[in-house]
Amino acid sequence: DTEVTQTPKHLVMGMTNKKSLKCEQHMGHRAMYWYKQKAKKPPELMFVYSYEKLSINESVPSRFSPECPNSSLLNLHLHALQPEDSALYLCASSTPGGLRNQPQHFGDGTRLSIL
Amino acid sequence: ELKVEQNPLFLSMQEGKNYTIYCNYSTTSDRLYWYRQDPGKSLESLFVLLSNGAVKQEGRLMASLDTKARLSTLHITAAVHDLSATYFCAVDRAGANSKLTFGKGITLSVRP
């Protein structure tokens, strides 16, 4: 069991659908992350939230929209995705940058398939 | 731009033998991490290395860091099948907006 919980575990959606991925942690971490991972590749950072504010956006297309409603929750809203967006989406949390002597903790991920 | 290189990218190991894998990075970094990923699964943290000369051991795995050479090694003692997985190293730099940069990963396969 991981301390970062992601739902759903699997998601299949059409290119015109709107869906959301959810991530929750109760470790008191104030930094949360979204990563995209394609098969046999390393995770690629998408977004970083620090103290509930967006601090890094790695030039991610606007069809991905992150939201951090509170310090425990992180959402990723999806709209009009493309087939190449099919991937494993990982959420992680940690203590914020300068204080971090601990690793990022990753959730189990959401496997997303775009039809 | 911070770059992280791992080698080899694939290693077939024989049970019971010792092996070492490597992680090089291009610029000064404050922290280096090793993660393990099983197929279709999430990333599991193995080690956090914070300073030059740091050495950490967990079971059959031992990680070390040489910040002057910008090199971390992961030594495997007496490989067993359970160690088959992909191992990523990642580095970051201090600061509120620091972020992890991952290597491509090393896939280890242990054969009888």
Q: Are strands B4-7 and B19-25 parallel, antiparallel or unpaired?
A: antiparallel
Nearest CB to B96; choose among A42, A50, A105: A50
Reading the block at residue B3, the tokens are 């770059």
Instruction: Tell me if A101 and B94 make a contact (CB, 8 A cut-off).
Output: no
* Residue A98 pLDDT exceeds 70: no
Provide, as residue numbers in chain B, all residues whose Cβ is less than 8 Å from the Cβ of A9. Answer: none
Determine the pLDDT at residue A12.
96
Instruction: Tell me if A102 and B100 make a contact (CB, 8 A cut-off).
Output: no
Provide, as residue numbers in chain A, all residues whose Cβ is less than 8 Å from the Cβ of B35. Answer: 103, 106
Question: What number of other Cβ atoms are within 10 A of residue B106's Cβ?
Answer: 20
Provide, as residue numbers in chain A, all residues whose Cβ is less than 8 Å from the Cβ of B95. Answer: 97-98
* Residue A11 pLDDT exceeds 60: yes
The DSSP letter of residue A95 is S
Q: Which residue has the higher pLDDT, A74 or B1?
A: A74
pLDDT < 70 positions in chain B = 94-98
Q: Which residue has the higher pLDDT, B27 or A110?
A: A110
Maximal C-alpha separation, chain A: 42
State the residue for tokens 């971490």.
A29
The DSSP letter of residue A103 is P
Residue of A nearest to B46 (CA): A103
Summarize the confidence of residues A104-114 as an average pLDDT. 95
Q: Are B18 and B79 in contact (CB under 8 A)?
A: yes
Instruction: Tell me if A101 and B50 make a contact (CB, 8 A cut-off).
Output: yes
